[in-house]
Amino acid sequence: MSELKKIIIESIEKNGPLPINKYMETCLYHPEFGYYMKKNPIGKQGDFITSPEISQVFGELVGIWLVNAWKTLGEPESFNLLELGPGKGTLIKDIWRSTMVFPEFQNAAELLLFEKSNVLRKLQSHNLRKVPVEWVNDLESITKKPMICFSNEFFDALPIRQFTMKNQTVLEKKVSLNKNKEIQFEFFEVNRDCKIITEENNLTEGTTIERSDLQFEILKCLCEKLKDNRGCLLIIDYGSELGQVDTLQGMHKNKYCDFLANPGEVDLTSHVNFGLISDYAKSFKTKPSKLITQKIFLTKMGVFERFKKLTDSLNENEKNYQTKTLNRLVSKDQMGNLIKVLAIQSNNEPDIYPFSF
């Protein structure tokens, strides 16, 4: 039995069943044994591959979007360019390389990275030696100036709580122990008076609501900065408009696995409830866009034209490889429809292409 599993079992024995967010926090961010705290999980040798790792074109197109967002904001002479959860640093590296043709944009940008994992910070530091980045530990401390913030597969890794309704009774899914002291899922009745479930969630018989308190806190902080200092936020992530089903999933070596198997060795995620994020943004007095798919976003940003230019001088085998890469990013049965894109901006600003607000 792993040390982390022992810690989890002892915690349940002492304090009772763990809400899923507490289980995820322990598995992902335990200082010594947490998944993100001890290894690099990204890439072919890791447990999952993100769009920036698949093709440089992804970062180039996000870079074009960021430059356009800056221009739409009136080209502020100084602004914060913040990435949430930078992974290996591949996305910001491609963005910085591809935006060198816009020196005014680069001169105005103060590059900030928000990363909790020391392992990934070291990797980012190595990969971004030629990129002028700074790391921030606390989003609240970011300097007051216009901000353009972006994230790719960040919000799906934030710990969640999960609720359902059965026979008109609200239940919360938690991690408990069976008679053999093995961890398992179990449902427990929720006291309605504690107001964990907000009215906006519309929890009905048989549906599931996944709610992240940490997601709420991060969005509140960022949206307040957008409201006070102007700017925008780009969120690219697995998810849907409604999010009324169980989306908890474990990933190990690029394959789905049991969520409760091997704590600390498995990536734990859930799909993002973009409808809830939009509701949050409105409540924080900022303006969310209509949700679009990654395929639509990349198509509007010129992904097919970019790949054509990229492959013009390649031989047949190299062209076939690039075609497979493109399909992975935009095909309906791969990332194209599974990943959604949402923009949030301060009020009274012009719409930022290709979104409608």
For residues 317-344, average pLDDT = 93
Tell me the two tokens of residue 161.
């709580």
Q: Average of pLDDT values for 181-190?
A: 94
User: Is 10 a domain residue?
Assistant: yes
Whether 84 is covered by a domain: the verdict is yes
Q: What is the pLDDT of residue 44?
A: 61
Task: Indicate whether 76 belongs to any domain.
Answer: yes
pLDDT in the model for residue 155: 96
- Residue 56 forms part of a structural domain: yes
**Domain assignment present for 181:** no
Q: 119-165, pLDDT tens digit by residue?
A: 899 999 999 999 999 999 999 999 999 999 999 999 999 999 999 88
pLDDT of residue 197: 55
pLDDT at 199: 46
| pTM, entire model | 0.93
Q: Is the pLDDT of residue 200 over 50?
A: no
Residue 192 lies in a domain: no
Q: What's the pLDDT at 41?
A: 67
pLDDT, averaged across the chain:
92
Mind listing the pLDDT tens digit for each residue in 232-250?
Answer: 999 999 999 877 789 999 9
Summarised one tens digit per residue, pLDDT across range 10-38 is 999 999 999 999 999 999 999 999 998 87
- Residue 303 maps to a domain: yes
Number of separate domains in the chain: 1
Longest dimension (CA), the chain: 66
* 202 band by pLDDT with thresholds 50, 70 and 90: low
Supply the CATH number for residue 92's domain.
3.40.50.150
Strand pairing category for 292-293 and 339-345: antiparallel
Domain membership of residue 118 as a residue range? 3-16+32-158+212-244+272-345
Q: Which of 43-57, 73-87, 239-253 has the lowest mean pLDDT?
A: 43-57
Average pLDDT over residues 28-53: 80
pLDDT for position 43: 59
pLDDT of residue 302: 96
Q: What's the half-sphere exposure (Cβ side, CA atoms, 13 Å) at 258?
A: 7
Answer yes or no: is 22 within a domain: no
pLDDT band at 252 (very low <50, low <70, confident <90, very high): confident
CB atoms within 10 A of CB 66: 23
